[in-house]
Amino acid sequence: MDNGERQSLRVQYGETPGGLAGPAKALLYATLILVSVFTLIPLVWLACAAFKGPGDMWSFTFLPYGEVQNPDGTMRPARATVINFIALFRDFGFGRNLLNSFFLTATGTSISLILASLGGFALAKYQFKGKKILMAIMLATMMIPGSVLLAPLYELICHMHMMNSYAGILVPGAVGAFGMLLFRQAMLGIPDDLIEAARIDGCSEIGIYWRIIMPVVRPMSGAFCLMSFMGGWNSFLWPMIVLQSKGLFTVPIALSQTIGLTGDMQYGLLMAGTFLGVLPPAILFFILQKEFIAGLTAGAVKG
C-alpha cells in the first residue's frame, strides 16, 4: 500500500497527520508531566533540604525565604546555607567517607570489568575443557540469593585477617558471574574472521582481547561499568559488616550513623550527606545513559 492509503487509514483510526487528536495528546503530556513531578519532587526536596539550616528544615517546604522569628523575639533572615556541608566535612570527616566510597567503587568496578570481560571472552570465543560445567555452575550460583553467603564470608574474612580492610571489600567483590555472562553475550556476535585475521597477523591472544575485542564491546563495557559502579556505591550490608573503623567507612555507613544523632543539626547533616551521596551515580548515569539502556535491554529483549 502506498503512503496515501496509510494516511487515510490513520485518519480513520483517530490519528491526525500530526499524531493523535488534540485532547488526547494534551492528556498524554499531562499524565507524563504529572508522573515526572511525583518522581522528582522528593529529590528536589532533598536538594533543598541539604541547604537548609537548623530551624528552617521543617518551616519551609523547599527553600527558605523571608524572615523568621528567633526564640528570643528578634528576627533573622531565612536563607539557603552551606552550613550543613561545612559541618559534614569539618566535624564528621565526610570527605574521607566520600573518598573511601570513590576508591572502593571505582577500583572494584575497574577490576570487575577486566575479570568479567576476560572471562566472557574465553567463554564466548574459545572451546576448552570444562567450559560447559563452568557455565552450568555459574548459572546455578546466580540463582542463590547473596544473603546465604553473608555468614560464611564473614567467618572466612575473619580468618583471613581481612576484616576492617579495603581488601575485605575488593577481593570478594571482584567475583561476578553475572558480568561474565553479560560480556559473553555481547561477544558472541563478534565475527570470528576478525579474530582469525588478527591471529594470522601474529597477534597474541591477550592482544586480541585488548586491541580488538574490548573496543568492539564498548557499549557493553559502559553499561557494565555503570551497573557495577551503582551497585558498589550503594552497597551497604557487606561493607557494614566488614568495615569497622571510622576512617574506612563509606558514605552509606556514615549516613546510617548520623541517623542516631539527636539535635537540630541532625536532619540538615543527614540530607546534605544524602545529597552528596546521590550525586556521583547520577552524574555517571547522565553521561552514560544511552550505553546503559542499550546494554540493559540487549540481554532482556533478546533473552
Partner 1 sequence: MDYPPGKAPLAILIVAIVSGFLLLIYPAKKSAGNLQVWTFADSHFKAYQKVVPQFEKTHPGVKVDLQFVEGRAVTSRLRAAFASDLPVPDMLETEISSAGTFFLGPLEDVGFRDLTEELHKPRPDGPPWIERVVRSRFAPYTSRRIVNGKAEDHIFGLPHDVHPVLLGYRRDVFEKHGIDAEKLTTWDAFLTEGRKLLAKLNVDKSGDGKPEMNHYLIGLSDTDCGDLEVLLFQRDGQYFDAEGRVRMDDEIAVKTMLWYVPLVAGPERVGYPVGWNWELTDKAVQSDLILSYVMPDWLTGFFEQHVPSGHGKLALMPLPAFEPGGRRTSTRGGTMLGFTKKSKQFATCWELGLLMYFDIESRAEQFKELNILSPLKGSWDHPLLKAPKPYWSNQPLGQLFASQADNTPPQYTSPYIQLAKAKLGEALCDCVARYNAKGARGFEAYVRKRLKQSADELRLQMTMNPYQ
Partner 2 sequence: MSNERTNSYSLWRHQQRLAPYLFVAPFMILFCVFGIYPIVKSLYLAFHVTNGPRSVVFTGLSNFRFLLQDPDFYSAVKNTAIFAFFSVFLQLPLSLGLALLLNSRWLKGRDVFRFIFFTPNLVGQVFVGVLAGVLFVPRFGLVTRFLHWAFNANLDMKLLGDPDLVMPALVGTALWMYVGFNCIYFLAALQSVDKELHEAAAVDGANRWQQFIHITIPAIKPVALIVVIMSTLGSFQLFELPFMMMGGPGPNKAGLTVVMYLYQRGFDIGNLGYASTIGWTLALIVLTISLAQVRISGAVRGQR
**Residue 2 is placed in which grid cell?**
502506498
Q: Which three cell numbers stand for residue 194?
A: 576478525
Choose from partner 2, partner 1, none: what does 245 bind? Cβ within 5-8 Å by kind.
partner 1
Among 34, 45, 86, 247, binds partner 2 (CB under 8 A): 45
Q: Cα-flanking dihedrals φ and ψ of residue 79, to 5°?
A: -135, 165
**C-alpha neighbours within 13 Å on the C-beta side of residue 212:** 21
Amino acid identity of residue 194, one-letter, is L
Contacts of 298 (CB under 8 A, 6+ apart): 185, 186, 220
Q: How near is the Cβ of 50 to partner 2 at its closest, in Å?
A: 11
Decide: is 243 part of the binding site for partner 2 (CB under 8 A). Answer: no
Contact flag: residue 11 with partner 2 (CB under 8 A): no
237 binds, among partner 1, partner 2, none (CB under 5 to 8 A by kind): partner 2
Please report, as residue ranges, which positions from 47 to 106 form the binding site for partner 2 (by CB under 8 A).
49, 57-58, 61
Strand residues in 50-116 grouped as ranges (E):
67-69, 75-77
Stretch that binds partner 1, among 4-12, 35-43, 120-128, 238-246 (CB under 8 A): 238-246
Residue 55, C-beta contacts closer than 8 angstroms, at least 6 positions apart: 68, 264
The 193-232 site mask, x for binding partner 2 (CB under 8 A), equals ------x--x-xxx--x--------------------x--
* Residues near partner 1, by CB under 8 A: 58, 71, 96, 99-100, 102-103, 106-107, 109-110, 113, 117, 158-159, 161, 163-164, 210-211, 214-215, 218, 221-222, 225-226, 229, 240-241, 244-248, 257, 260-264, 284, 287-288, 291
